[in-house]
Chain A
Amino acid sequence: MLAKRIIPCLDVTDGRVVKGINFLELRDAGDPVEIARRYDEQGADELTFLDITASSDNRGLILHIIEQVASQVFIPLTVGGGVREVEDVRRLLNAGADKVSINTTAVLNPQVVADAASRFGSQCIVVAIDAKKVDNQPHEWEVFTHGGRKATGLDAVKWAEYMASLGAGELLVTSMDRDGTKIGFNNPLNRAISDAVEVPIIASGGVGNLQHLVDGIKLGGADAVLAASIFHYGEYTVQQAKAYMQQHGIEVR
């Protein structure tokens, strides 16, 4: 049967991997190809690169990284961050990305999602949804943009359905309440979205231990789990995560 996926996420700024810096092992610092290869060797099912470059001058640097990684690592690569138009999607795919993740632009201009999906196929269009729990609203979770700073008024579950209907082939759901907390994924949010759409969802935000990965799949109904810090800082390897998931009855590669 189909395996549940583990996806390490690498944050890239100005052409360097920043979360990949392990202060105990500086030899890995900033070398995206080496980090990508290490995760590949550990059995990562895919890799996600998130370009958090602030200045548009340096945004092209991600293309170099993707080109280098794609020449040496033969697993699916997703790239997100700063995608504003269909042309950005094309550039990233040409550099060697297999999927492109669209976040703020999807809210500002949903047509970009529809156009990119119809031009390149749904299989390579991921919509990233940053959601936060809200009070005094008809909905429980709301879509936020600009790294969680701007509220949109959109119901995250309805938004997920809309994005899938426009052609998103996969949804990356990040709980802004959980991101960085290490207390686990927001499983009710993920479950609500997973039940509402037919496309796969990736759970993101909040992983602190391996049980959280299991819960993300069993309770949250996620098809894949994304994590950054538990892998980057050497707390766990991808193998350890897979062994743990397998012990708990989850199909892994």
Chain B
Amino acid sequence: MNKIDIAVIDYGMGNLRSVAKALEHVAPDKSVVVTSDPAEVAQAERIVFPGQGAMPDCMRELDARGLRETVLDAAKKKPFLGICIGLQMLFDESEEGNAKGLGFLEGSVKRFPSEMKDSHGDKLKVPHMGWNQVYQQDSSHPMWQGIADGERFYYVHSYYVQADDGAISSGYSDYPQRFTSAIATKNVFAVQFHPEKSAAAGLQLLRNFVNWTPTL
């Protein structure tokens, strides 16, 4: 088997091409593989765990491919980047279909309430879709290097994570209340927004991931 630098975990939910293309763009000399093969994931140096769609379906498809233990194992020891549902699935449970998550992180996934209003009294839509500011809570983290505090990233989601341990929150956004949009713990960094769709700032975050050497 050829050396795999970055494995993008494919469990059959949605379009992973964007993630892979963006990684290839920032790391042209690395091998990027989109895979559902536990052996390839186990062998890869770095793991990207993306996700789209509904969390109950994502969990079911992950299990159908026998990837649960592989993902948990990788999250314990390798540079690991979760994106969108890939962040949410790390937690205990979600209000979306009352799905159980992987339980790697303590906390739950909540839905934005209906009838939210902004400061002008205008209705705030769900899904939270578009470019919002991300405020860094730990700007010294290697994953935030070269990214301005308050930089905008592209979001599309109706659910957000609520960690029991507030200390793992590494970034937040407001819609209109504050919610955690990035978590950092040891070798794991996971974001609610889509770095692969967030223009220069997103590419910088992916570049940081490719170069990241976490301290375990």
Interface residues, chain A, CB within 8 Å of chain B?
A: 1-5, 40, 45, 70-72, 74-76, 93-98, 118-124, 169-170, 194-195, 198-201, 221, 223-224, 253
Give the complex CA separation of A196 and B22 in angstroms. Answer: 37
Q: Which residues of A contact B78 (CB under 8 A)?
A: none
Q: Is the CB of B14 within 8 A of A121?
A: yes
Q: B18 touching A96 by the CB < 8 A rule?
A: yes
Complex interface: chain A residues within 8 A of B129 (CB): 123, 169-170, 200, 223
Least CB distance, B174 to chain A, in whole angstroms = 6
Q: Is the CB of B130 within 8 A of A120?
A: no
Given contacts A98-B15, A124-B52, A200-B125, 11 further A-B contacts (CB under 8 A): A45-B154, A93-B15, A94-B17, A95-B17, A97-B15, A120-B53, A123-B52, A195-B123, A199-B126, A201-B125, A221-B122
A121 contacts B53, C-beta separation under 8 Å? yes
- Known contacts A71-B25, A75-B199, A3 near B127 by CB under 8 Å: no
Task: Return chain B residues, CB-CB under 8 Å to A3.
Answer: 130-132, 152
B175 within 8 A of A: yes
Interface CB pairs A-B, < 8 A, 17 = A1-B175, A2-B131, A3-B131, A3-B152, A70-B18, A71-B21, A74-B25, A74-B202, A76-B197, A98-B15, A98-B197, A120-B52, A123-B127, A169-B156, A195-B123, A200-B129, A221-B122
B187 within 8 A of A: no
Cα of A98 to Cα of B119 in the assembled complex, Å: 30
Across the interface, which residues of A come within 8 angstroms of B123, CB to CB?
Answer: 194-195, 221
Kindly provide the distance from the CB of B7 to the nearest chain A CB, expressed in whole angstroms. 19
Q: CA–CA, A207 to B203, complex, Å?
A: 32
> What are the nearest 6 A-B pairs in CB distance?
A121-B53, A93-B15, A253-B131, A200-B125, A123-B156, A3-B131
Chain B interface residues toward A at CB < 8 A? 13-15, 17-18, 21-22, 25, 52-54, 114, 118-119, 122-133, 152, 154-157, 174-176, 194, 196-199, 202-203
Minimum C-beta distance from A65 to chain B (A): 14
**Which listed residue (A71, A75, A94, A223) contacts B15, Cβ 8 A?**
A94
Q: Which residues of A contact B156 (CB under 8 A)?
A: 76, 123, 169
Given contacts A71-B25, A74-B198, A74-B203, contact A1 B176 (CB under 8 A): yes
B199 contacts across to A, CB distance below 8 A: 40, 74-75
Residues in chain B near residue A4, CB distance under 8 A: 130
Residues of B within 8 A of A199 (CB): 125-127
B14/A120 in contact, CB under 8 A: yes
Asked if A223 and B132 make an inter-chain contact with CB atoms under 8 angstroms apart, the answer reads no
Residues of A within 8 Å of B154, CB to CB, are 45, 75-76
